[in-house]
Amino acid sequence: METIKREEVERYLERGRDFIDDALIERLLEENKQPDARAVREIIARALEIKTLEPAQTAALLQVQDDALWEEIFQAAAKIKTKVYDNRVVTFAPLYAANKCVNNCSYCGFRRENPAIQRRVLDFDAIREETRVLAGKLGHKRLIFVCGEHPESGADYIAESMRTIYSVKEKVRNGRGEIRRVNVNAAPMSVGDLIKIKDAGIGTFQVFQETYHHATYARVHPAGTVKSDFGWRLYALHRAMEAGIDDVAIGALFGLYDWKFEVMGMLFHARDLEKRFGIGPHTVSMPRIEPAANTPFCDHAPHRVSDRDFKRLIAVLRLSIPYAGMIITCRERPGFIRDVIPMCTQRDASSRIGVGAYTGQQQEQQQDIQQFILGDTRSLDEVIRELASLGYITSFCTAGYRCGRTGKNIMTLLRTGKEGCFCKLNAILTFQEWLEDFASRETREIGERIIAQEIAQVTERVPAYFTPELLEKMLEFHRRIKSGERDLCF
Ligand code: SAM
Ligand code: SF4
């Protein structure tokens, strides 16, 4: 398999082994059964200092049995989210560009041997058209570009697609629609290929390990496929760092194996990135397996995670990797998202996950072109209105990547809570832009109320490291955005 560059995995192994020691994880979970409440409260206190937890500490949280103690964990998780990210929620949408795939993952509608899927690789004109809808009609500023693993959708294709997306400028109500940040969820690549997508202006590179359990990984990714190589995938983000992409995202597909094991795997992943590069994952994702066309595996997922356990695992991840953003997706139903949003930092909205689905004439959900079935198909406007009614400001800020607040810089800002403040100002400005250009009347009304509250907060309780000049500049930018200028941020 020439895709895999063996030496780009082997240089990370220690005594021939990767950093997921299955037996150690099982042992930690066993040893930490029935943790006492005092120990759990000490762990909560450490997480509140925005310190990555030790594996034994995460194991202890995962083994809590007492419902009242779980309530304390949920409250701490929400507190950490607010401490690091304030009341902001970032939104984005996926752009599915290609569903041809050389792999045969048991759980995925796009798997090679699934005849029920119409295969398509969007050409650059079609990518442009999809982007015009996303940026010009729906008002998104961030995308996650998604594709299967196939020679037709390799690094050159992804890089050119990204350039195409960034080139789209749509005239909208009072300003312009454009995508300012393209994140990518694609197959693991070599360092050489990663440099190509870095040069095209990638935001975050996201690769989910699916499962950290070696034997389960081998079962769901048939031998002989590229994806069956556990190590090639496990070190995909290490290679990204080597290539200079210092903004990376981890995830596990929940339902393949025991959720407690997967949370431990994600923690070990974050810790290994921190150890080697001084930077952990920017975001953590926790997709749950959803039904997919002609994919019986999904209807009988061996370790389906209940809502109760899913909420618990989100909280434990929040505490274990406290600086990381956490993404909840439209795979989930609106009611459940409402329940966990206090612990999360990002969500998608108005998502379509069929290739060409934004421009196509498809119904809302069309099984034969999409990877799986969504739980929340509401529009971005509806989602923003709901978030605002719950007290959250939707941020369209993309400044982090464009002004160099990534990697080590951002880690320090996040751990000290200062990123939250820069981002607060940018959230106000970018949300105002969105209200001007895209909001319905109802959403605008409630959105303006949130903005007024936010401005009052920063001007009345000026944080120590905000200079008066900075605040004055923010107010000036805000006035200028209201009178039609765009893309003003810190
Ligand atoms: N093909 C690339 C890969 O596998 O890494 C990237 C794109 S893949 C379409 C994106 C992610 O979708 C996978 O990493 C997997 O976690 C998730 N996924 C696949 N099948 C799913 C299903 N039935 N339900 C929910 N998520 C699924
Ligand atoms: Fe292909 Fe990714 Fe689906 Fe696996 S999860 S079949 S690699 S698109």
Give 300's contacts (C-beta < 8 A, 6+ positions apart).
none
**Would you say residue 1 has pLDDT above 80?**
no
What pLDDT does residue 401 have? 54
Distance separating alpha carbons of residues 56 and 271, to the nearest angstrom: 13
Residue burial 375-410, b: 16+ Cβ < 10 Å; e: rest: bbebebbbbbbbbbeeebbbbbbbbbbeeebbbeeb
Whether residue 287 has its Cβ less than 6 Å from ligand 1: yes
DSSP for 391-428 reads: TPEEE---HHHHTT--HHHHHHHHHHTHHHHHHHHHHH
What pLDDT does residue 375 have? 85
What pLDDT does residue 103 have? 98
Residue holding tokens 């041809």? Answer: 100
Mean pLDDT of 115-135: 96
**Would you say residue 403 has pLDDT above 60?**
no
pLDDT band, residue 408 (cuts 50/70/90): low
Helix (H), strand (E), coil (C) string for 136-172: HHHCCCEEEEEECCCHHHCHHHHHHHHHHHHHCCEEC
CATH superfamily for 7-16+89-398 is Aldolase class I (3.20.20.70)
Q: Which atom of ligand 2 is nearest to the CA of 104?
A: 6
What pLDDT does residue 413 have? 59
Provide the percentage of residues in the chain whose pLDDT is more than 90: 80
Mean pLDDT of 419-426: 71
Could you tell me how far CA 368 lies from the centroid of its own chain?
25
Least confident of 2-11, 128-137, 188-197, 461-470: 461-470
Give 467's contacts (C-beta < 8 A, 6+ positions apart).
none
DSSP for 253-288 reads: -BTSS-HHHHHHHHHHHHHHHHHHHS---SEEE-PB
Mean pLDDT of 60-70: 97
User: What tokens appear for 69 in the block?
Assistant: 């103690």
What pLDDT does residue 468 have? 80
Distance separating alpha carbons of residues 264 and 179, to the nearest angstrom: 35
Least confident of 95-104, 331-340, 355-364: 355-364
Whether residue 315 has its Cβ less than 6 Å from ligand 1: no
What pLDDT does residue 415 have? 62
Distance separating alpha carbons of residues 487 and 176, to the nearest angstrom: 9
Q: Which atom of ligand 2 is nearest to the CA of 111?
A: 6
User: What tokens appear for 210 in the block?
Assistant: 């699916």
Q: What is the DSSP letter of 228?
A: G
Whether residue 397 has its Cβ less than 6 Å from ligand 2: no
**pLDDT digits 0-9 by tens, 383-394:** 999 999 999 999
Which of 175-179, 181-185, 467-471, 486-490 is the most confident on average? 181-185
Name the closest ligand to CA 110: 2
| pLDDT top residue among 260 and 419 | 260
Whether residue 311 has its Cβ less than 6 Å from ligand 2: no
pLDDT band, residue 79 (cuts 50/70/90): very high
HSE-CB of 258 using CA atoms within 13 angstroms: 14
- DSSP-derived 3-state class of residue 347: strand
Choice from 4, 104, 106, 108 to test ligand 2 binding pocket (greatest atom count within 8 A of CB): 108
Distance separating alpha carbons of residues 14 and 324, to the nearest angstrom: 26
What pLDDT does residue 14 have? 95
Choice from 100, 105, 108 to test ligand 1 binding pocket (greatest atom count within 8 A of CB): 108
**Residues in the chain, how many?**
490
pLDDT band, residue 203 (cuts 50/70/90): very high
What pLDDT does residue 485 have? 87
| pLDDT top residue among 247 and 462 | 247
Name the closest ligand to CA 220: 2
Q: Provide the terminal-to-terminal Cα distance of the chain, rounded to the nearest Å.
A: 45
- DSSP-derived 3-state class of residue 100: coil
**Domain-by-domain residue ranges, the chain?**
7-16+89-398, 27-78, 400-482
Distance separating alpha carbons of residues 81 and 387, to the nearest angstrom: 15
Task: Please name every residue paired with 14 in a beta bridge, in sequence order, or none if there are none.
Answer: 17
Predicted structure pTM score: 0.94
Mean pLDDT of 225-234: 98
Task: Please name every residue paired with 95 in a beta bridge, in sequence order, or none if there are none.
Answer: 145
Q: What is the DSSP letter of 240?
A: H
Provide the percentage of residues in the chain whose pLDDT is more than 70: 92
What pLDDT does residue 459 have? 81
